[in-house]
Chain A
Amino acid sequence: MTAIDSPAPLVDAEEVRRLRQEKLESIGRWVLPLAIMVLAVFLWDRICVWNEIPKYILPRPGVVMQTMYSDAGLLFSSLLVTLKITFLSLLLAVIGGVGLSVLFTQSKWVEMSFFPFAIVLQVTPIVAIFPLINIYVANQTVKLLLCAWIVAFFPILSNTTLGLNSVDRNLRDMFRLNGATRWQQLRYLRLPAAMPYFLGGLKIAGGLSLIGAVVAEFVAGASGQSSGLASRIIEAGYRLNAPRLFAALILISLAGIVIFLVLSLISHLILRRWHESAIKQER
């Protein structure tokens, strides 16, 4: 570019350097991870070829892509099942997490009494709880939902509780001075103030609900009845169908990445006008 080679009179050398640096950074942000990814896939392919690894142990990337295409019907319908569980449990986690945290902030006593239960639910590995759920709950979908919910609701609960409690003291006084009711204080002050915290929890919960859904399917071992991606993976594992196993794995990761990106976008759109975390710094 000639514009950079011959700087305009108002732009000094340092400014030019800074601009170039910024441009490089913005390109690098996309190009670098992509390049590394391509390199890794290429190496993967080469290692398979050089070591003559059979495809039931480590399939070449091309074979995985081929399988993704040829088994598309099976894999994507399974993905849909898993995503359904994921989103439903995330929805329930939001309702449960926010609902409980609102309840907690209404009364210290409620929080003191029930918060330990939330922690117990959180720290006990879901794999260990599942056999119980398996006995008590008949419906397959409800089973999976319950599992994924237990995994996902805690970050929302703890983050939102923290947010509801970290309202500026003066703002609280201001509401008191204006005779705000409890409900008004919640609606106009605490809930909006907790929004950044809630959205932070939501981002974590989004990933966790996917993990919860997959883990639940795994332990449910639901061959036949449930047909999520986890059961496809188990199935493929039994049959030494490594290409399909890899394809399913890639779909799960992609789903996780998309969920994270969507939630990040939502968070950005909600906070961009006022919260520090979403404001672009101007230099």
Chain B
Amino acid sequence: MLQKDVMTTPQGASGVEPALLTLRGVGKAFSNGVTALNGVDMTLAEGDFLSLLGPSGCGKSTALRLIAGLSSPTSGLLDWRGGGLDRSQVGFVFQEPTLLPWANVFDNVWLPLRLKGVSRAKAAPAIMELLERVHLAGFATAVPRELSGGMKMRVSIARALVTKPRVLLMDEPFAALDEITRFKLNNDLLELWQDQRFTVVFVTHSVFESVFLSSRIVVMAARPGRVFEEMTVDAPYPRDEEFRTSASYASLCRKASDVLVAAINAKAGDAKEAGI
């Protein structure tokens, strides 16, 4: 079965190790009375590629901001293994590239290190290597407006990875890109993930993207934002273009799509009943 219990230890984690992050009954209500999230239980294991999939308004971005520590929950708690959240362990990629328009590519990637007091000379080798990894080797001195949308996103990813974070949080990073660019960035992201072994939480509203990338998908429903169902994507890595056209990918997509449709049609109170 695809459907898994919320607390099931996902693959990739060695059974004894506690989850990297556990959300227990997390809720978030805004001062205008909108309940963005309600009673969210979720676990994040070391090495996971976890996608938050859901219709707009289901609070997936809010959940990501909570995990990043950009806002705090109004109920429940976020339980990080080994105490509180260490911000230097988290990298964040926004929906827009969010680069400094006046700074060139090198300086943009350098920024997180610069804020920690690492000099340009000391940071340079790591930055140049990282730029090569995201296929931007020749563009260190270009400014953002000289780059295409996909390239800007690569800079943004490089900037998030330059501090060697353990968790990479991505908020619909490829939503504004064309399909061809998105496919390429998907492949490159997976390559980076397998190579550097960080943990990813990836917010998306694309079924196909989430299935292609993730080891686990958390499907969310709206009004109030909640976890509807969790599914494990049983397909081995590395995944490449061949996987994208395979029958198993298609059937996984259909299953995820069914869950998503159920989540979209679900009324408040239906949460998780299908799964538990």
Contact = CB atoms under 8 A, between A and B. Distances in A.
Contacts of B184: none
Nearest to A168: B98
Contact of B115 (A168, A173, A179, A192): A179
Interface stretch (A8-16, A21-29, A69-77, A273-281): A273-281
A275 B69 CA distance: 32
Interface in B92-126: 92, 94, 96, 98, 100-103, 111-112, 114-116
B135 interface: no
B94 A274 contact: no
Contact of A274 (B101, B115, B163): B101
A88 to B, nearest CB: 29
B145 A274 contact: yes
Nearest to A177: B92
Interface string B142-169: 0111000000000000000001000000
A179 B102 contact: no
A177 B91 CA distance: 8
A189 interface: yes
Contacts of A177: 68-70, 87, 90, 92
Interface residues on chain B, size class: 20 to 34
Contacts of A192: 100, 102-103
A174 interface: yes
Given A179-B87, A179-B88, A171 B102 contact: no
A2 interface: no
B105 to A, nearest CB: 12
Contact of A178 (B100, B101, B112): B112
B102 A184 contact: no
A179 B145 contact: no
A184 B118 CA distance: 13
Nearest to A173: B70
A130 interface: no
Given A178-B87, A179-B87, A274-B145, A188 B114 contact: yes
**Which of B102, B116, B144 lies at the interface centre, i.e. has the most chain A CB atoms within 10 A of its CB?**
B102
B116 A179 contact: yes
Nearest to A189: B100
Contact of B102 (A170, A178, A195): A195
A137 interface: no
Contacts of A189: 100
Given A173-B70, A274-B143, A178 B115 contact: yes
Interface in B233-276: none
Nearest to A185: B115
B115 A279 contact: no
A277 to B, nearest CB: 12
A80 interface: no
A180 B111 CA distance: 10
Nearest to B91: A177
Given A177-B87, A177-B92, A184 B143 contact: no
Contact of A175 (B88, B90, B115, B144): B115
A170 B111 contact: no
Contacts of A188: 100, 111, 114-115
A168 B99 CA distance: 10
A176 interface: yes
A168 B100 CA distance: 10
Nearest to B92: A177
A168 B98 CA distance: 8
B134 to A, nearest CB: 17
Interface in A150-204: 168, 170-171, 173-180, 184, 188-189, 192, 195
10 contacts: A168-B98, A174-B94, A175-B115, A177-B69, A177-B70, A178-B87, A178-B115, A178-B163, A180-B115, A188-B115
Task: Please give me the 3 A-B residue pairs with the lowest Cβ-Cβ distance, nearest first.
Answer: A170-B98, A178-B112, A274-B101
Given A171-B100, A173-B70, A177-B90, 13 more contacts: A168-B98, A170-B96, A174-B98, A175-B115, A178-B87, A178-B111, A178-B163, A188-B100, A188-B114, A189-B100, A274-B101, A274-B102, A275-B102
Interface of A: 168, 170-171, 173-180, 184, 188-189, 192, 195, 273-275, 279
